[in-house]
Amino acid sequence: MSDDRTFVIIGAGQAGAWAIYALRDEAEFEGKIVLIGDEEYIPYERPPLSKSAMLGGTSVEDAFFWPREKYDEWNVEMRLGVRAKTIDRAAKSVTLSDGATIGYDRLLIATGTRPRLLPIEGKDLSGVHYLRTIADTLAIQNDIPDGGSALIIGGGWIGLEVAGALSKRNCKATVVELADRLCGRAVPPEISDWLLSFHQGHGVDVRLNTGVERLIGKDGKLAAAELPSGEVIDCTLAIIGIGVLPNSEIAEAAGLYIDNGVVVDAQGHTSDPDIFAAGDLTNHPNALLGRRIRLESWENAQNQARVAAKAMVDKGEDYAEIPWFWSDQFDANIQMIGVPQSWEQLATRGDPASGEFITFYLKDGKIDGAISVNNPRDVRFAKRLMQAGKQVSVDDLANPDIKLQALLKG
């Protein structure tokens, strides 16, 4: 190799995998790449973990981005099953949990997030799980009670996806949410109401304004859960999904600037010129939204990592995209764009009762975000309207006789 530099990537998830791809196939970096991951698996996608993989419909290998041979082709040194413990910025080295030290010329931190833990009596019982890794998915898969009952603590996207998936195994799901509505931080009340009705219509028992007092075991295994009201719900499986936290500790210990994640610029530079970061743990600027954000998003982890990887070889370009998220629940494909901070005006095109519609969020006469159910085509046009900064009206957006293409040209 003509380039004698060593680039180290901490984190073998979505961002780490796509950084390798960008370095080799897009930036044509010919130096050494070392990938550090604390799981034994090569990089894999997480969305299938709460869906087909959890039910055993697909194998673990199906979630891999590329087979192991591809990393060999890219000449990547894989250090899997070990954790990066410390970063020595002065020595430009990373110390691993197995005692090894790896020097770097440039470093990418792509450590993602981890589940927020619930301190509750019975949390260590067999049958109680979080869902983040392949190991979590395999453990849940073994504990799904066909024809039995499961408790899902948390009415966010992961919890609702799991509820939908479990129904395919004839498992009765109860969702317990502390807030007064589902996905309250991400969607307006109207969409929360639709989600509630949708899941109840599919047989999910949803309890709002409700927590869990304790988990009750029998012979070390989960048997039931007690609610604050004193009601006891029988269940042999519990999945906790109450949010995630950025894995920014190693960056903070190294003295990098932290504020709700690792602070980076539009190209992924941290406060150290030789250290970059990408993915769920970054607090980054978005010129299209006009503010800094931290996203827990499949697409952001992929595309921001590609931008940061190119910046590592001084081929940087500013990263700014309309955030996009998706979720599959029962027969509904839900897609969201934007990250609205409020919902000043709403416009809905289509009938929510039909299971196919899109709701737009407006701010100052422009689309600030949108959420659709089984309507990906309109999401694409909504995204283009956002990017163009087009002035639109609630009446025009809600009128199905006015094509969104026409609003884009107007």
Q: Are residues 100 and 126 in the same domain?
A: no
Which residue among 219, 240, 261 closes a domain?
240
Residues in a beta bridge with 234? 224
- Nearest Cα residue to 329 out of 147, 171, 195: 195
Q: How confident is the model at residue 233 (pLDDT cuts 50, 70, 90)?
A: very high
User: What is the pTM for the complete model shown?
Assistant: 0.95
Residue 20 has pLDDT above 60, yes or no: yes
**In a domain? residue 326:** no
Average pLDDT, rounded, for the chain? 95
Q: Are residues 216 and 277 in the same domain?
A: no
Q: Are residues 274 and 339 in the same domain?
A: no
Counted domains in the chain: 3
Q: How far apart are the first and last CA of the chain?
A: 53
Residue 1 has pLDDT above 70, yes or no: no
**In a domain? residue 215:** yes
Q: How confident is the model at residue 168 (pLDDT cuts 50, 70, 90)?
A: confident
**In a domain? residue 322:** no
Which residue among 203, 225, 240 closes a domain?
240
Residue 215 has pLDDT above 70, yes or no: yes
Dihedral Cα 185, 189, 195, 201, nearest 10 deg: 150
Q: Are residues 336 and 299 in the same domain?
A: no
- Nearest Cα residue to 118 out of 26, 13, 241: 241
**In a domain? residue 324:** no
Strand pairing report for 113-115 and 221-226 = unpaired
Instruction: Kindly report the CATH number assigned to the domain that includes residue 182.
Output: 3.50.50.60
Instruction: Kindly report the CATH number assigned to the domain that includes residue 359.
Output: 3.30.390.30
Residue 51 has pLDDT above 90, yes or no: no
**pLDDT score recorded for residue 410:** 72
Q: Are residues 19 and 101 in the same domain?
A: yes
Q: Are residues 233 and 174 in the same domain?
A: yes
Q: For 353-387, how does the pLDDT look when each residue is reduced to its tens digit (9 = 90+)? A: 999 999 999 999 999 999 999 999 999 999 999 99
Q: Are residues 386 and 344 in the same domain?
A: yes
Q: Are residues 35 and 106 in the same domain?
A: yes
Q: Comparing 57 with 110, which gets the higher pLDDT? A: 110
**In a domain? residue 184:** yes
Q: Are residues 142 and 234 in the same domain?
A: yes
Q: For 138-152, how does the pLDDT look when each residue is reduced to its tens digit (9 = 90+)? A: 999 999 998 899 999
Q: For 335-350, how does the pLDDT look when each residue is reduced to its tens digit (9 = 90+)? A: 999 998 887 789 999 9
**In a domain? residue 156:** yes
Q: How many CB atoms lie within 10 A of CB 182?
A: 25
Q: Are residues 359 and 341 in the same domain?
A: yes
Which residue among 263, 285, 312 closes a domain?
312
**pLDDT score recorded for residue 344:** 77
Strand pairing report for 6-10 and 32-37 = parallel
**In a domain? residue 320:** no
By residue range, what is the domain housing residue 402? 331-409
Q: Are residues 228 and 274 in the same domain?
A: no
Residue 196 has pLDDT above 60, yes or no: yes
**In a domain? residue 351:** yes
**pLDDT score recorded for residue 228:** 96
Residue 44 has pLDDT above 70, yes or no: yes
Q: How confident is the model at residue 25 (pLDDT cuts 50, 70, 90)?
A: very high
Q: Are residues 38 and 55 in the same domain?
A: yes
**pLDDT score recorded for residue 58:** 79
**Residue type at 306 in one-letter notation:** R
